[in-house]
């Protein structure tokens, strides 16, 4: 037997195992595709804010954002996802999404939601990205003053932007959210 034949022989199961292996791999693939379908995974590739309320506990954040001044200018991803590269954006979304999916699948949702450190850094980057012109040669605090103090964050002074003081699902009872005729 030549070297190529030995190499591929190592990766092929014995003839009696082929059908069970095909069935097992087919079942795993089917379950994986089913989970993608029921979780509506493709919707998370978009920037539609309604995707954020696929999980009911994000309803207060959606409701308060939809009544804020930011609503007319941004969506959730404009603030909460990196924009410096395509790769970083989708790696961040995948990482955060996998963490959220795990938490929700295991029913470990916190009653009060707070942004994590990685998310705070991204929000800070995006505040600067959108609002740099407010601080350059205009009224208000000079940009150099803020940029020079690494310990200061935009959210230190603008904590209620754009979600007000929302932390939990009980903070906006009866919040009106978009009707979902089909899952987003």
Q: Which domain holds residue 12?
A: 1-38
9 with 71, same domain: the answer is no
pTM over cut 0.85: no
Cis amide bond preceding 162, omega within 30: yes
Count CB atoms within 10 A of the CB of residue 163. Answer: 22
For residue 121, what pLDDT is reported? 92
Percent of the chain with pLDDT over 90: 20
| Angle (CA) 31 33 38, round 5° | 90
Lowest mean pLDDT among 69-78, 87-96, 156-165: 156-165
Asked if residue 163 is part of any domain, the answer here is yes
Residue 177 lies in a domain: no
Q: Is there a single domain that holds both residue 2 and residue 84?
A: no
């Amino acid at each position: 037997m030549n070297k190529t034949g030995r190499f591929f022989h190592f990766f092929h199961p014995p003839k009696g195992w082929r059908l069970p292996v095909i069935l097992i791999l087919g079942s795993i693939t089917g379950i994986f595709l089913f989970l993608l379908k029921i979780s509506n995974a493709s919707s998370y590739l978009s920037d539609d804010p309604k995707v954020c309320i696929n999980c009911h506990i994000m309803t207060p954040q959606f409701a308060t954002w939809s009544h804020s001044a930011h609503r007319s200018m941004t969506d959730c991803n404009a603030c909460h996802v990196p924009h410096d590269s395509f790769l970083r954006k989708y790696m961040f979304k995948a990482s955060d999404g996998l963490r959220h999916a795990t938490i929700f699948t295991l029913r470990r949702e916190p009653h009060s939601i707070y942004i994590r450190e990685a998310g705070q850094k991204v929000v800070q980057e995006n505040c600067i990205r959108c609002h740099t012109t407010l601080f350059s040669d205009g009224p208000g605090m000079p940009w150099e003053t803020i940029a020079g103090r690494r310990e200061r964050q935009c959210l230190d002074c603008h904590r209620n932007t754009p979600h007000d003081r929302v932390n939990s699902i009980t903070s906006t009872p009866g919040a009106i959210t978009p009707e979902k005729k089909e899952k987003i």
